[in-house]
Amino acid sequence: KAGVTQTPRYLIKTRGQQVTLSCSPISGHRSVSWYQQTPGQGLQFLFEYFSETQRNKGNFPGRFSGRQFSNSRSEMNVSTLELGDSALYLCASRTGLAGRGSYEQYFGPGTRLTVT
Amino acid sequence: AQKITQTQPGMFVQEKEAVTLDCTYDTSDQSYGLFWYKQPSSGEMIFLIYQGSYDEQNATEGRYSLNFQKARKSANLVISASQLGDSAMYFCATHGNTDKLIFGTGTRLQVFP
């Protein structure tokens, strides 16, 4: 079974631009979560989607948004990029259904965003 | 609110030896889970092991075991027979009633020959 895939793997943007990152979950997984990892703040939860609905949201400004499609693929968008948005963005998927193993989250390789 | 504390910024272990990475947690949720992830320099977070708060037996996955002591709120990871490829950052994390994972600051493990 293929793992979680994220595209692109690396991205360089300039301040003020916007960016869209993509995540394809493991086949059959319906829940997708996004995390930001920086040296200063560590790993922080951005948001979680299940069946195209946002179920949870972290403490990030409105410039960070996301969505999920009917095939469970998810995108996150960051508008008006700031230097502080430079980070590794990780997405994780899980089944989202009840049962043994339902809480196990599997991460993709991440997208490394650099804002200059 | 949930919190994970990893007090060991770095650990060294000799190849083939066992090592314990410490993790303590704080949560007000009745039901919760604890994770350990490995992050090599490539950046990918690799799932290692999961323990649910109601699981009575400690979780094990191959060379990894989670020493769960509920009363002490600790969830230490034990790696037996360390290998050079185990060198990486290790993160402890918890979830409560939602999918949101709260991570600790991590422990950098270095395995030497």
Q: Residue A3's pLDDT is what?
A: 93
| Cβ atoms B88, B39 nearer than 8 A | yes
**Residue A109: which of B43, B98, B99 has the nearest Cβ?**
B43
- For residue A98, pLDDT over 70 is answered with no
With an 8 Å Cβ cutoff, are A109 and B42 in contact? yes
CB atoms within 10 A of CB B12: 12
Residues in chain A: 116
Cβ burial, residue A27 (10 Å; 0-12/13-18/19+)? exposed
| Cβ atoms A109, A9 nearer than 8 A | yes
Helices marked H in A28-92: none
Counting residues of chain B whose pLDDT is more than 70, the rounded percentage is: 100
Nearest of B19, B66, B25 to residue A104 by alpha carbon = B66
**Residue A48: which of B100, B103, B106 has the nearest Cβ?**
B100
A33 contacts in chain B (CB < 8 Å): 99-101
Q: How far is B107 from chain A (nearest CA, A)?
A: 12
Query: Which tens digits make up the pLDDT trace of A55-88?
Result: 999 999 999 999 999 999 999 999 999 999 999 9
| Cβ atoms B31, B91 nearer than 8 A | no
With an 8 Å Cβ cutoff, are B98 and A56 in contact? yes
**Residue B45: which of A45, A48, A90 has the nearest Cβ?**
A90
Selected for mutation to probe chain B from A4, A107, A113 (highest B CB count within 10 Å) is A107
Query: Which tens digits make up the pLDDT trace of A12-59?
Result: 999 999 999 999 999 999 999 999 999 999 999 999 999 999 999 999
- B14 is written with which tokens? 């000799």
- For residue B17, pLDDT over 80 is answered with yes
With an 8 Å Cβ cutoff, are A92 and B35 in contact? no
Q: How far is A15 from chain B (nearest CA, A)?
A: 24
Q: Residue B29's pLDDT is what?
A: 86
Nearest of B55, B68, B3, B58 to residue B29 by alpha carbon = B3
| Cβ atoms A74, A91 nearer than 8 A | yes
- For residue B24, pLDDT over 90 is answered with yes
B99 contacts in chain A (CB < 8 Å): 31, 33, 48, 50, 55-56, 94, 96, 103, 105
Q: What single-letter amino acid sits at A65?
A: S
With an 8 Å Cβ cutoff, are B100 and A56 in contact? yes
Q: Residue A2's pLDDT is what?
A: 77
For residue B14, what are the CA distances in angstroms to A61, B54, B108?
45, 34, 14
